[in-house]
Chain A
Amino acid sequence: MKKAFPILGLLTAGLLTYALYQALVVAPTEQTMGDVQRIFYYHVPSAWTAFLLFSINFLASVWYLLRRNPVADMVAVTTAEVGVAFCTVVLVTGPLWARPVWGIWWTWDLRLTSTLVLWLIYVSYLVLRRFSSSGQTPVLAAALAVFGALDVPLVYFSIWFFRTQHPQPVIGGGGSIDPRMLHVLLINWLAFLCFAFLVCWSRYRLEALWREVEEVQALEALAETGSDRR
């Protein structure tokens, strides 16, 4: 297992480099937007990766609530943190693209707003984990994750209706995409997935080590109080 990590790291670095080359050089320039459009190869894969991580977080949370398995909780922490990081990338690259293309940094459009709300929910999840003082943080966090998942369809639905009533600049949704562009997009997504997996892996190991250290410290403290009494 320990050897697999650097190998996967090297593979990911290679894949990311290749994907960068593909996105910046190989992919055809978009007709109306020009080179600005290339941010799409980072924006969209980040979004897909973030949503995937949040879904894993939800499944792990349900698993934890049902089985109280510490592995599920560690998976939940890891995916939430890395997911928030990727979601932040989405929220930063979006306005960078929107400014030259739409002429505005931000619009309260359906996808933007629901992504922002999702990000807010998961930030509150991380805040809860950070501020929770008892040993029952995992239970509370898992409950919040379930609430967040219940909320997502309602958020989407409400903003969808909100925005169909008040028309806004529309994203170039629908339509067809050049197959070469799709190819580059998928390569980038693969690279991002590998990268996300790598980060999750090291974060997971860190979490496992932390817990081990805490356990050892707790045992040592117990042993000390025990010897004092003698």
Chain B
Amino acid sequence: MSAPTGITWATLAKDIRLEWRSKDAINSMLFFALLVVVVFSFSFDPNAEESRHIAGGLVWVAFLFAAVVALNQTWARELRNQVLDAYRVSPAPANALFLAKALGNFLFVAVLEALMTPLFIIFYKLRALGPAWQLIAIAVLGTWALVVNGTFFAAMSLRTRSREIMLPLLLFPISLPALLSMVEATTNILTGENSAKFWIVLLATYDVVFTTGCLALFETVLHAE
């Protein structure tokens, strides 16, 4: 039996290679996020000074919706050829697989964010009035908050009917505090009116709590069949 880290890296490398060759997740996420940006720009005046106050919410809602597209594909490819069943009967630790999947999703969503952020800045004429470096911390913590629970709930919804619909239904209610923190922190930095410290700490707490929860329960969920 190979070490857990070995399994994590092997699975992660396999997922990255698959994604690099097919570009399924990243292309659909990118196009989806682009559509959200365009649709939002019709619903209000993107040039108004007011847009600074709503841009935080807008950016994160776009990323959340786009992330769901990638998250839904996480486990689907493991169902083909019964890969997941093979994994289940193998002595490999479940958490190694979970971490690989979560890290993979993190990477894909991070790439999406890196590509989409310039577009947001151009389309909505954004400029941070607060300390912009904190946005990086928010992006890392926020993305992890979305993907760690997303990966977990995607595994959960594998065993449900109409699983593509199930994922957002499970993920969104639980993610509300994280989403609120990301949106508020981003808005605070863009407007420069308040400190974002509290929200970043809350986001970090959310990450710690739910990463622990996912690792504690993933084995149970994986073997539930």
Contact = CB atoms under 8 A, between A and B. Distances in A.
Contacts, number: 89
B113 interface: no
Given A131-B160, A158-B180, A139 B220 contact: yes
B213 A150 contact: yes
Contacts of B178: 154
Nearest to A155: B177
Nearest to B170: A124
A128 B173 CA distance: 13
B3 to A, nearest CB: 27
Nearest to A141: B156
A140 B177 CA distance: 22
Interface in B192-224: 194, 198-199, 202, 205-206, 209-210, 213, 217, 220-221, 224
B76 interface: no
A161 B184 CA distance: 10
Given A131-B161, A132-B160, A154-B206, A143 B217 contact: yes
B141 to A, nearest CB: 13
Given A133-B161, A158-B202, A117 B213 contact: no
B205 A161 contact: no
Main secondary structure of the interface of B (DSSP, over half): helix
B159 interface: yes
Interface string A130-158: 01111010011001101110110011011
Nearest to A120: B173
Contacts of A98: none
Contacts of B213: 146-147, 150
A147 B157 CA distance: 15
A161 B161 contact: no
B140 interface: no
B114 interface: no
Given A117-B173, A128-B170, A132-B159, A140 B221 contact: yes
A120, A146, A151 pick with most chain B CB within 10 angstroms? A151
Query: Chain A interface: which size bin?
Result: 20 to 34
A136 B158 CA distance: 12
A157 B224 contact: no
A151 B169 CA distance: 15
A124, A133, A134 pick with most chain B CB within 10 angstroms? A124
A57 to B, nearest CB: 15
Contact of B180 (A132, A140, A162): A162
B138 to A, nearest CB: 14
B224 A139 contact: yes
A144 B162 CA distance: 18
A158 B177 contact: yes
A157 B180 CA distance: 11
Interface of B: 149, 156-157, 159-162, 166, 169-170, 172-174, 176-178, 180-181, 184, 194, 198-199, 202, 205-206, 209-210, 213, 217, 220-221, 224-225
Interface of A: 65, 117, 120-121, 123-124, 127-128, 131-134, 136, 139-140, 143-144, 146-148, 150-151, 154-155, 157-159, 161-162, 165
23 contacts: A117-B176, A123-B173, A127-B169, A128-B156, A128-B169, A131-B162, A133-B161, A134-B224, A134-B225, A136-B159, A140-B156, A140-B159, A147-B174, A147-B210, A150-B210, A151-B176, A154-B177, A154-B202, A155-B176, A158-B180, A161-B199, A162-B184, A165-B194
For the complex of A and B, the 4 pairs showing the least CB-CB separation, nearest first, are A136-B224, A120-B173, A154-B177, A139-B224
